Chains A and B, each alone.
Chain A
Amino acid sequence: MLKRALFGFVALFTIGAAPAATLAAVAQDEKVIPAVMPTDGPRTLDPVRGSTTYDNMGCAQVYETLLQVSYYDNQRFEPQLLAELPTRLEDGKRYRFRLRDDVYFQNDECFPGGKGRKLTTDDVFYSWKRIADPANGLKNWWLLEDAIVGLEVPAEGVGFDYDAPVAGFVKISDTEFEVELTRPVFRFLWVLTMFQTSVVPREAVEHYGSDFGAHPVGTGPYVLDEWIPKQRLTFNRNPDYYECYYPAAELWSEEDRKKGLADAAGQRLPIADRIEFAMIIEEQPRFLEFKQGNLAWLELPFTYFGELFSPRTKRMNRESRKAGYQYRSVLVLDMIFRAFNMEDPIVGGYTPDKIALRKAMAYAIDHDEFNEVFYKGLCVQYDGPIPPTLDGHPENHRVEGAPRGPDLPKARALLAEAGYPNGEGLPAIRFYTNSSSVNAKMMDLLRRQLGEIGVKLDAQMVDFSQLIELTNKKQAPMFSFAWLSDYPDAENNLALFYSKNVSPGSNHWNYSRPEFDELYERAIVLEPGEERTALYVQMRDMVIADVPMVGSLARNRYYVWQPWLMNARPTPRFWSWFKFLDVDESKR
Chain B
Amino acid sequence: MWSYVARRVLYNIPIYLVIVMVVMVMLRINDPVTAYLSKNATEAERSLKEAEFGLDQPFMVQYLDMLKSIVTFDFSTKSWYQETNTVGEIITPSILPSLKITLPSLALSTFISIVVGLIAAVNRGRLIDRGLMFVAVVGMSISFLVFIILGQYFGAYWLNGKVGTEIFAIRYDADRMTGFFVADWIKFYLLPVMISVVVSMGYDTRFYRTVIVEQTNADYIRTAKAKGCSQRRVMFRHLLRNAMIPIITRVMITMPFLIVGSLLLEVYFSIPGMGKTLLTHMTNKDFAVTQAIVAILAALFILSNILTDVLYAIVDPRVRLA
Contacts and interface: CB of A to CB of B under 8 A. Distances in A.
Interface stretch (B108-116, B152-160, B224-232): B152-160
Interface stretch (B127-135, B167-175, B242-250, B299-307): B167-175
B62 interface: no
Interface in A213-232: 213-214, 228-232
Given A16-B187, A210-B78, A285-B170, A134 B153 contact: no
18 contacts: A13-B183, A40-B280, A43-B83, A46-B83, A137-B45, A210-B78, A229-B90, A231-B272, A232-B173, A232-B175, A278-B171, A281-B276, A285-B170, A289-B170, A463-B35, A468-B38, A469-B34, A506-B40
A249 B22 CA distance: 65
B84 A214 contact: yes
A478 B49 CA distance: 29
A505 interface: yes
B4 to A, nearest CB: 43
A20 B173 contact: no
Contacts of A284: 149, 152-153, 268
B184 interface: yes
Contact of B178 (A16, A285, A468): A16
Instruction: Determine the main DSSP class of B at the interface with A.
Output: helix
B45 A13 contact: no
Contacts of B178: 15-20
Nearest to A289: B170
A158 B52 CA distance: 15
B81 interface: yes
Contacts of A206: none
A466 B285 CA distance: 13
A278 B85 contact: no
Most buried by A among B43, B183, B187: B183
A16 B157 contact: no
A282 interface: yes
Interface in B265-322: 267-270, 272, 276-277, 280, 284-285
A9 B167 CA distance: 10
Contacts of B167: 13
Interface of B: 30-32, 34-35, 37-40, 42-45, 47-49, 52, 78, 81-85, 90, 149, 152-153, 156-157, 160-161, 165, 167, 170-176, 178-180, 182-184, 186-187, 267-270, 272, 276-277, 280, 284-285
Contact of A465 (B34, B280, B284): B34
A212 B52 CA distance: 17
Given A138-B44, A230-B82, 15 more contacts: A15-B178, A16-B187, A43-B82, A138-B48, A210-B84, A214-B84, A278-B171, A281-B276, A284-B153, A284-B268, A285-B170, A291-B157, A294-B170, A468-B34, A469-B34
A279 interface: yes
A276 B175 CA distance: 9
Contacts of A40: 280, 284
A504 B81 CA distance: 24
A168 B34 CA distance: 33
Nearest to A138: B45
A291 B84 CA distance: 34
B267 A281 contact: yes
Interface string A270-284: 000000101111101
Given A13-B167, A139-B45, A288 B156 contact: yes
Given A230-B272, A465-B30, A466-B30, A16 B171 contact: no
B152 A288 contact: yes
Contacts of A278: 171, 173, 270
Interface string A253-272: 00000000000000000000
Contact of B267 (A214, A228, A229, A282): A282
Nearest to B176: A20
Nearest to B32: A465
A292 interface: yes
Nearest to A228: B174
B270 A279 contact: yes
A292 B267 contact: no
Contacts of A9: 186
A16 B81 contact: no
Nearest to A234: B175
Contacts of A127: none
Contacts of A13: 165, 167, 183, 186
A469 B183 CA distance: 52
A17 B153 CA distance: 22
B277 A230 contact: yes
Contacts of A228: 174, 272
A463 B272 CA distance: 27
Contacts of B184: 16
Nearest to A9: B186
B183 A230 contact: no
B270 A229 contact: no
Contact of A280 (B82, B270, B285): B270
B182 A12 contact: yes
Most buried by B among A18, A213, A292, A481: A292
Given A137-B49, A138-B48, A230 B276 contact: yes
Nearest to B167: A13
Contacts of A210: 78, 84
A12 B45 CA distance: 55
Contact of B83 (A49, A232, A279): A49
Most buried by B among A228, A291, A294: A294
Contact of A134 (B48, B84, B171, B182): B48
A142 interface: yes
Contact of A464 (B35, B165, B180, B280): B35
A506 B270 CA distance: 36
Contact of B35 (A19, A134, A153, A465): A465
